[in-house]
Amino acid sequence: MFKQLKLVIGAALTATLVACGGGGDESTANADPQGIWTGPASTGNTVYVAILETGEAWGVYSSGSTIAGGLYGTARTNGNSVSITGTDFNFLTNSSTDGTFTGPITAKSSMSLSGNGTASLTYQSIYDIPATSTGVTGTWSFIGRSKSYTLIPATISINSAGAFTLSQTGCVTTGSIVPRPGGKNIYNLTLSGVGANCAVGQSTMSGIAYLDTTVTPNKFLSLALTPSKTDGLIVIGTKQ
């Protein structure tokens, strides 16, 4: 779906959540795009997007158990219209492409996007369940990949402080996953890899994750990007 999404590098990541003049004697409030949104794309993938209070849009798209790519950009609204400009990290073609998707939005309900393809996304109420340290503490099996590397499926243990170590052949990655301020179901994620065969080289990455408590066992979806935001790593974990 998002095969033409483009991040405008250096753009300020601010949400335009202010009222704008309606042309008459009334004001029309811009719809709030915040939330976790999921739904099908015209490409056949399922899209998962988290839009934060800053306007940042982080996403993952997959087909079944195959991680197809990640998304990063900025969401802005004008009345009941949304525009998302960002980068698509397509892991199947090892490429990054760019563009903008637009469409109607109903806050905390639905969002339809059109561009080079379409997607119909539905708001997930799990966004409004505050993230907690205990929510991610424990042992998780995982799958994951970057543009050029697929992680060997294994398990990680996350302690009560949110710290974990991910060991792969030729790479040891340490990281943390901690509740993001704001009382929403969003965690801040940091990763730092050391070794010759790390998924995105020996770099420190940052990103977000969210916990899906609507399924049993629970799952988390995460995306972390390099400082230049030219590559990243997606990890999907399942509680053991």
Does 9 have pLDDT greater than 90?
A: no
- Asked if the model's pLDDT at residue 201 lies above 70, the reply is yes
Q: What is residue 7's predicted lDDT score, i.e. its pLDDT?
A: 32
Q: Which two tokens stand for residue 73?
A: 């950009």
Statement to judge: residues 57 and 120 lie in one domain: yes
Structure tokens at 237: 């974990």
Q: Residue 100: exposed, middle, or buried by beta-carbon count in 10 A (0-12, 13-18, 19+)? A: middle
C-alpha distances (whole Å) from 45 to each of 37, 89, 128 are 14, 14, 25
**What distances in angstroms separate CA 201 from CA 173, 194, 197, 219, one per listed residue?**
11, 8, 7, 26
43 pLDDT more than 50:
yes
- pLDDT at res. 27: 60
Model pLDDT for residues 146-196, shown as the tens digit of each residue: 988 899 999 999 999 999 998 899 999 999 999 999 999 999 999 998 998
Task: Quote the pLDDT of residue 23.
Answer: 42
Give strand pairing partners of 95: 90
Q: Would the pLDDT of 16 be above 70?
A: no
Task: Give 83-141 pLDDT, tens digit per residue.
Answer: 999 999 988 888 888 989 999 999 999 999 998 789 999 999 999 999 999 999 999 99
Model confidence at 10: pLDDT above 50: no
- On whether both 24 and 64 belong to a single domain, the answer is yes
Domain span holding position 229: 129-239
pLDDT confidence tier of residue 5, bands split at 50, 70 and 90: very low
- We report the CATH number of the domain holding residue 95 as 2.40.128.280
- Residue that wins the pLDDT comparison between 203 and 219: 219
Amino acid letter, 225? L
Domain co-membership, 165 together with 217: yes
Q: Are residues 154 and 213 in the same domain?
A: yes
Report which secondary-structure segment, H or E, holds 135: helix 133-136
What domain count does the chain have?
Answer: 2
